[in-house]
Amino acid sequence: MKKTTIYAANGLLSATLWRTVLVFGLASLLLSAPLRAQEEDSKVSLNISLNSDIFFGFYPFFSGAYKGSSVDFTFYGILWSGGAAGGSWGNWTEFGIGIGIPVGDALYINPQVGLLNGSLTSGLGTPVLAEGLVPNLTVGLGTDALEGELYGGYYMGLDHGNPTTNNYLHYWINGGYKISSFLSLGLHFEQLRFTGGKDEGPAREAFDFYQALGPYIQFSAPKLGAFARFSSGFDLRSDAEVAKSSFEQPSFFKLSVGFGF
């Protein structure tokens, strides 16, 4: 057989081999794509709740996590709608990211930093992007019998040219007992405090907008990842604190409905 014929045959075999490898490679990628997508989906969780309380009004909230080997990447957002002083908040919006740290099977520690957008903490009459920052921490407790949550966030106004900025401390702690997978009862304590800010006029004293303690009741559908909770409470502030805040709120109530995916 002539050398040219051998070279041609080898070239044809090589081309056929590469085409076969390419076809199998593409087929493998196409077949494994759904599996990889399923693996990615299994690492992602998303929770959405609709909330309404006596001070902040109606505000949808979402939180999510991308599960890591030991630490999760987390994110959240709050669509504040206004509430007691909504006209001056400027379509207030909060968005943040952080990390989630599981501690055993019962605790989940979640430090995050949020970006505030609007006009509440900056003191401006016009809504602006990045009007403030809010470092915050959430610690969740969950066992077969107990549930609980600790949240603390410090809302810091950034200087956008206004003579004053506003800072706030907002925190709550609650805990309850699961009577069944459907029903749980517990106590909820929550406080919102004005802590000052940048001033180019008379210094402003710190005061509490509210400080409330009371019971809550929660109904859950674990298989659906859904719950409904009603929290109530009574104002613990002194008459002097109420007068200082110019905000009378003898009682507190909050309704939340949530879904997990």
On average, the pLDDT of the chain sits at 86
Question: Is residue 219 included in any domain, yes or no?
Answer: yes
Question: Is residue 31 included in any domain, yes or no?
Answer: no
Question: Is residue 29 included in any domain, yes or no?
Answer: no
- C-alpha 147, offset from chain centre: 18
DSSP 159-185: -SS-S---EEEEEEEEEEEESSSSEEE
Question: Is residue 11 included in any domain, yes or no?
Answer: no
pLDDT of residue 7: 45
pLDDT of residue 116: 96
Question: Is residue 23 included in any domain, yes or no?
Answer: no
Number of domains within the chain: 1
What digits encode the pLDDT tens for the residues 83-93? 655 566 878 99
User: Where is pLDDT greater, at 29 or 169?
Assistant: 169
What digits encode the pLDDT tens for the residues 156-215? 999 998 889 999 999 999 999 999 999 999 999 999 999 999 886 677 889 999 999 999
pLDDT of residue 12: 46
pLDDT of residue 39: 61
pLDDT of residue 201: 67
Residue 18 has pLDDT above 70, yes or no: no
pTM of the model: 0.81
Question: Is residue 58 included in any domain, yes or no?
Answer: yes
pLDDT of residue 8: 46
Q: What is the mean pLDDT of residues 240-257?
A: 90
Domain that residue 71 falls in: 41-260
Burial class (CB in 10 A: 0-12, 13-18, 19+), 233: buried
Percent over 70 (pLDDT), the chain = 81
Question: Is residue 45 included in any domain, yes or no?
Answer: yes
What's the CA gap between 44 and 64, in Å, rounded?
Answer: 7
pLDDT of residue 81: 73
E strands within 106-250?
107-118, 128-142, 146-157, 167-178, 183-196, 207-221, 226-235
The DSSP secondary-structure symbol of 105 reads T
What's the CA gap between 77 and 105, in Å, rounded?
Answer: 26
Question: Is residue 142 included in any domain, yes or no?
Answer: yes
Residue 220 has pLDDT above 80, yes or no: yes
**Domain containing residue 46: CATH number:** 2.40.160.40
